[in-house]
Amino acid sequence: MNFPSPVTALWLADFINAKISGDANASATGINELHRVRKGDIVFVDHPKYYNTCLKSDATFIIINQETDVPEGKTLLISDNPFEAYQKIVSHFRPFTPSHQMISSTSEIDPTAVIMPGVFIGNQVKIGREVIIHPNVTIYDNVTIKDHVEIHSGSVIGGNAFYYNGKKDRDVWYQLMNSCGEVIIESHVDIGSNCTIDRGVSDVTRIGEGTKIDNLVHIGHDVIIGRNCLIAAQCGIAGGTVLGTGVILWGQVGVNKTISIGDNAMVMAQSGVANSLEGNKSYFGSPAEEYYSKRKEILLARRLPEIWEKVRGK
């Protein structure tokens, strides 16, 4: 999430009650997750396992719960509870704003768009030319839908990321990280019935131009789907994953978080994608492997009883 205007480290330190180590006059331009962080961004870390990764990231500001050497070009904001500091910053710059009407007055809808009865459109939503949104679709805040998009009944766009801070030393182990990200649906995308597309935690979930999504598909937070992809019914894509151009996922494929699938890859039905896949190949199985080698393996497994009987007979 980018801030409306930059804020200084001095302001941030006062706001979250943190100690500054580094350049107190540096200005932050936004807040982001580690895997999407950019120069000028704030990131938080509260576990030693991730200290080094955060300190070496592109983030300019790091909210951290331990004093340490300050890398060149960084400013540390030392806080007893970095997670709560993150929550406070997000709530300040993107507070929850309830809607009291079906279509928010802050939305921008092109006059050629068709919005059918029962559609809810939240705050700061932008809808482009010749979009068709069928009954009972819910579009949360900060969603952009570009031109010639069609969304079928029951789909929910822009819900909270399934993203929790977990600690077992407190009564409530899992606390939701406030989502301040967005969803962008590029032009000529079709979205089937009862799909769910979560907004980014602090960045964007993006559906690429020309992509077609079947019914009952779930797309997690911060997923980036390339141009002209096909995603069949009951697929699930976990957060932070990137699909290239022309990727095809057939029915009931499950895709792990923070991995990538290369351009023009095809994943056969009911496969489980645990690790990143190269492009221009077909895959099958769980964990998904190259289709033809996996097919040979399955055929050989079917012959094992026959082979065993021949071995016993010698």
Residue 239 contacts residue 200 (beta carbons within 8 Å)? no
Closest CA to 87 of 160, 3, 7, 165: 165
**Over the stretch 230-243, which tens digit does the pLDDT of each residue have?**
999 999 999 999 99
Q: In angstroms, what CA-CA distances link 262 with 100, 130, 233, 247, 281?
A: 43, 31, 21, 7, 9
**Over the stretch 141-183, which tens digit does the pLDDT of each residue have?**
999 999 999 999 999 999 999 999 888 888 999 999 999 999 9
Q: Which burial class, exposed, middle or buried, applies to 245 when counting CB atoms under 10 A from its CB (0-12, 13-18, 19+)?
A: middle
pLDDT of residue 34: 85
**Over the stretch 84-139, which tens digit does the pLDDT of each residue have?**
999 999 999 999 999 999 999 999 999 999 999 999 999 999 999 999 999 999 99
**Over the stretch 51-78, which tens digit does the pLDDT of each residue have?**
999 999 999 999 999 999 999 999 999 9
pLDDT band of residue 303 (cuts 50, 70, 90) is: confident
Task: Please name the residues in contact with 236: beta carbons below 8 A apart, sequence gap of 6 or more.
Answer: 217, 218, 220, 253, 254, 255
pLDDT of residue 305: 84
pLDDT of residue 309: 79
Q: Which burial class, exposed, middle or buried, applies to 155 when counting CB atoms under 10 A from its CB (0-12, 13-18, 19+)?
A: buried
- Token digits for 16? 């979250």
Q: Residue 158: phi, psi to the nearest 5?
A: 95, 20
pLDDT band of residue 308 (cuts 50, 70, 90) is: confident
- Token digits for 20? 């500054």
Residue 306 above 90 pLDDT? no
Q: Which residues are catalytic?
A: 221
Residue 292 above 70 pLDDT? yes
Buried b (16+ CB within 10 A) or exposed e, 156-192: bbbeebebebeeeeeeeeeeebbbbbbbbbbbbbebb
pLDDT band of residue 268 (cuts 50, 70, 90) is: very high
Domains recognised in the chain with CATH numbers: 2-93 (3.40.1390.10), 108-292 (2.160.10.10)
DSSP 199-213: PPSSSEEEE-TT-EE
CA 232, CA 192: separation in Å to the nearest integer? Answer: 10
The structure's pTM equals 0.92
**Over the stretch 31-45, which tens digit does the pLDDT of each residue have?**
998 888 999 999 999
pLDDT of residue 314: 57
Whole-number average pLDDT of the chain? 94
Residue 299 above 90 pLDDT? no
Instruction: Express as a percent the part of the chain with pLDDT over 90.
Output: 85
Residue 187 above 60 pLDDT? yes
**Over the stretch 192-251, which tens digit does the pLDDT of each residue have?**
999 999 999 999 999 999 999 999 999 999 999 999 999 999 999 999 999 999 999 999
DSSP 38-68: -TTEEEEE-SHHHHHHHHTSS-SEEEESS--
Q: Which burial class, exposed, middle or buried, applies to 101 when counting CB atoms under 10 A from its CB (0-12, 13-18, 19+)?
A: exposed
